[in-house]
């Protein structure tokens, strides 16, 4: 029988264990963040090359919308963003979209009437969903109220009657900015 022993100081053992634990935590954190990013992007389908795909895009957030769009228009994303567009792009970034790569580009805006917004179910035409589409993919958009002092937020379905993010009090100003 052969026995081999190694003498090691307690300080060296504690340091080795600390390095192993730190490495394991770093690896766990990296894998977790990668999994969350992959899961989120895998769940949200951005395809919008036809009517069925655009309706499916909105329905994955829980929205029920009119089958036919209220309006289809061509929009030019400004080459330089003013304060209003920076705020609007902030909404896009919150939903993992960014309009900066499309600055100066033309996109199509598809506008649908939202039929199931909490608190507005019996008020047709008050709440709309806007999809900004480029090359058959959704690159941005919002859900907004046309009421004076209304709201504008991302695609996530609100959990209460008051939207979580109220960005612009006058949605007509945002719509005008998007068209210019």
pLDDT at 85 exceeding the cut of 90: yes
CB 136, CB 113: distance < 8 Å: no
Angle at 132 between CA 126 and CA 136, to 5 degrees: 130
* Per-residue pLDDT at 170: 42
Residue 123's contacts (CB-CB under 8 Å, 6 or more residues apart) are none
Tell me, yes or no, whether 137 and 153 share the same domain.
yes
* Per-residue pLDDT at 154: 96
Please state, rounded to an integer, the average pLDDT across all residues of the chain. 83
- Whether 1 maps to a domain, the answer reads no
* Per-residue pLDDT at 96: 94
- The torsion of the CA quartet 166, 160, 71, 172, rounded to 10 degrees, works out to -30
Domain containing 108 equals 51-179
What pTM, to 2 d.p., does this model score?
0.67
* Per-residue pLDDT at 57: 96
- Whether 136 maps to a domain, the answer reads yes
Q: What is the DSSP string of 112-166?
A: EEBS--TT-TT-TTSEEEEEEEETTEEEEEEEEE-STT--EE-SSPPSSSS-S--
- Whether 2 maps to a domain, the answer reads no
Tell me, yes or no, whether 38 and 56 share the same domain.
no
Domain total of the chain: 2
Tell me, yes or no, whether 136 and 59 share the same domain.
yes
Tell me, yes or no, whether 28 and 92 share the same domain.
no
Tell me, yes or no, whether 74 and 142 share the same domain.
yes
């Amino acid at each position: 029988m052969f026995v081999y022993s190694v003498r090691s100081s307690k300080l060296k053992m504690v340091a080795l264990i600390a390095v192993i634990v730190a490495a394991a935590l770093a690896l766990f954190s990296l894998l977790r963040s990668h999994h969350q990013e992959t899961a989120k992007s895998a769940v949200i389908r951005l395809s919008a090359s036809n009517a069925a795909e655009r309706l499916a895009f909105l329905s994955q957030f829980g929205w029920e919308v009119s089958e036919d769009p209220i309006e289809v228009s061509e929009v030019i994303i400004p080459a330089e963003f003013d304060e209003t567009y920076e705020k609007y792009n902030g909404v896009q970034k919150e939903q993992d979209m960014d309009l900066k790569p499309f600055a100066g580009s033309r996109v199509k805006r598809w506008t649908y009437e939202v039929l199931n917004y909490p608190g507005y179910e019996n008020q047709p035409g008050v709440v709309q969903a806007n999809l900004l589409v480029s090359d058959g993919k959704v690159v941005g958009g919002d859900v907004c109220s046309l009421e004076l002092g209304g709201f504008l937020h991302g695609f996530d379905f609100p959990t209460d009657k008051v939207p979580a993010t109220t960005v612009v009090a006058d949605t007509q100003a945002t719509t005008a900015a998007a068209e210019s």
